[in-house]
Chains A and B, each alone.
Chain A
Amino acid sequence: MSILVNKDTKVIVQGFTGKEGTFHAEQCMAYGTNIVGGVTPNKGGMTHLGKPVFNTVEEAVKATGATVSMIFVPPAFVADAVMEAADAGIELAVIITEGAPVKDMMYAKHYATKKGMNTIGPNCPGIITAEECKIGIMPGNIFKKGNVGLISKSGTLTYEASNQVVKEGFGITTAVGIGGDPIIGLSYKQLLPMFEADPETEAIVMIGEIGGDLEIQAAKLIKEQITKPVIAFIAGQTAPKGKRMGHAGAIISGSKGTAAEKMEALREAGVYVVESPADIGITVAKALTEKNK
């Protein structure tokens, strides 16, 4: 078991024939991801990496039965690509592209929600179910199969965390890089209950960062709903106070988004909060040992 994606998931790639799209689609296929085709407007009818190319997502879905789209289009076209996927009945869009305008993403996310499509990202490494299905740009070989779920705002820290977990002799069920942009898709709030419900996942690692209050919301949810051990690291404990121009951000979230504040909230919720990023792996080991006593 796993969450959201597995070896049977049919995936299309938007921005399939571009440089990034091509490179990473190839890597995903080598990992075992069931990529069934791609979309590049005006290249419909072509074959690329041995898979059919379509002009529209609608055609691709009709022809292949794909339910997930991996999006690599340039930032200016991301919102359009996401909305097209939602319109065509895609269930999950994984948006890798970095640099998408926030306002565009706001409109796209609202439309996706209305159409019942989940999104991951933008500006994220994607999602991987270990040794089954990789939809994104992460190095697949680091993610060995196991019983730990992973949710992370940061790309390289996701790899770091998985690497440490594997070195301790454990492995990963599914790892999700949620991205750190102002508007993101699935977050701790939706993913934690999915891992709670997944019978294979026995512990959950969450990697947060300073800014915003997603981790504070996650702490509340963990206290109320999550029974599996959660191990958390918040990056940016030593980040300097920014030279800010206005205060509007802090007022709206009602919190300053500091690492200390987030760590405190998570500790209170019974989470194993790790102070040093080098201790993620050993803390997972400790949590699982305590749990199985």
Chain B
Amino acid sequence: MNIHEYQAKEIFRKYGVPTPRGGVAFSGPEARKVAESLGGNLWVVKAQIHAGGRGKAGGVKLAKSLEEVEKIAEEMLGMTLVTHQTGPEGKVVKKVYIEEGADIKDEFYLGMVLDRALEMPVMMASTEGGMEIEEVAAKTPEKIIKVAIDPAIGFQPFHARKLAFGLGLPKEEQREFIKFATALYNVYMDNDAEMIEINPLIKTGDGKFLALDAKMGFDDNALYKHPEIAEMRDLDEEEPTEVEAKKYGLSYIKLDGNVGCMVNGAGLAMATMDIIKHEGGEPANFLDVGGGANPDTVAKGFEIILSDPNVKSIFVNIFGGIVRCDRIANGILQATEKVEVNVPVIVRLDGTNAEEAAEILRNANIKNIIPATDLKDGAKKAVAAAKGEL
């Protein structure tokens, strides 16, 4: 789960990771009020969406008066931001963050993530702050300094010193940086974070370090330990159909094609999309109905797939293991009684009792339901049906 910048900064402050002062606002007048209470004569108005690249897309703007804060906030709220991380449809701005202006002397990058190969968290720093860090990693990997932290010893001053030397920080600034990095490690570990990114981390004119931006993602499996973070979930940032699917234990991702897919297991679901493409079609979605495909989940799956008007055929691809295919076949028949399915449904059931299942589907003799013998046959038929050639 991802959270907004303003929420991440709230967590940062709790742990003593310094950030500029700021507050969130949902309207122009509210933004003005926040700016007023912050004081000063320079503010930054920042769109709060779950994506990077906001600056380039016009989602981060400087304001030199309270009037300007209000005006910018009003313009930004409701606007659709398209960045390299939002996808082409972009994201609508529903809240803005008003922050005091900062005296930027230097910009760095600081991030934390799990290194899957080392099985340890790593902290990464770079002098190329404010840049697109993926590009830095690709073109000048030597400009990214990484330290892996063995969880058995935790974050030690030597870890931080290595980063500080890598960033070329003079002696008098190292102590501040070590404090900053240590606090950040605690934020990461205590909250079961999946990643933290501060880009840029700035050094101010008076030698202080401040997190000017903050991105945080959390391990969904660990949210039960952190109810206060779970509460930060912003459903506005998620696809409504995906949220709806999750309620029923389904995992759904909408795509652009016209062959709907319903599959058990994430790997087989991806493989099903692959074979549809391989056979000359375009998948309309990823849908994993999980291990126990029953009439209710299958019915819900049909409903969700059919909510996409592009869908011209549906490929049900289920490998029956412990749950036998004959039971799944009956489940599919029951589901079609609950939901009106008006496109061809190609059903491929394989595994335990596959032949009995095929028999059940044939005997039911429903016009829209077309049994398939194997993966390839199913994919071919589903693609042909979507083209109106079946």
Contacts and interface: CB of A to CB of B under 8 A. Distances in A.
A153 B141 CA distance: 30
B51 interface: yes
Interface stretch (B15-23, B219-227, B228-236): B219-227
Contact of A183 (B119, B141, B265, B350): B119
A7 B119 CA distance: 33
A247 to B, nearest CB: 4
A108 B290 CA distance: 27
Contacts of A137: 321-322
Contact of B51 (A104, A138, A237, A245): A245
B151 A107 contact: yes
Contact of A160 (B111, B215, B268): B268
Contact of A247 (B134, B263, B272, B319): B134
A250 B268 contact: no
A152 interface: yes
A100 to B, nearest CB: 6
Interface residues of A, number: 61
A210 B273 CA distance: 13
A227 interface: no
Interface string B41-78: 00000000011100000000000000000000000000
B87 interface: yes
Interface string A179-218: 0101100000000000000000000000101101110010
B334 to A, nearest CB: 22
B322 A248 contact: no
B277 A102 contact: no
B146 A252 contact: yes
B120 A106 contact: yes
Interface in A231-285: 233, 235-240, 243-254, 259, 275-278
A155 B273 contact: no
Contacts of B352: 139, 141-142
Question: Which of A209, A238, A240, A244 has the most chain B CB within a 10 Å cutoff?
Answer: A238
B253 A248 contact: no
A155 B219 contact: no
> Which 5 A/B pairs are nearest by Cβ-Cβ distance?
A154-B267, A156-B265, A139-B321, A101-B222, A248-B113
Interface of B: 2, 50-52, 85-87, 111-117, 119-120, 122, 124, 132-134, 137, 141, 144, 146, 150-152, 189, 192, 194-197, 215, 217, 219, 221-222, 224-225, 253, 255, 263-268, 270-279, 283, 286, 291, 319-322, 350-352, 374-376, 379
Given A155-B267, A235-B271, 16 more contacts: A99-B221, A101-B225, A103-B192, A110-B151, A139-B322, A154-B270, A157-B271, A235-B274, A237-B277, A238-B270, A239-B273, A243-B51, A246-B217, A248-B111, A249-B195, A251-B111
Interface of A: 27, 75-76, 99-104, 106-107, 109-110, 137-139, 141-142, 152-157, 159-160, 163, 180, 182-183, 207, 209-210, 212-214, 217, 233, 235-240, 243-254, 259, 275-278
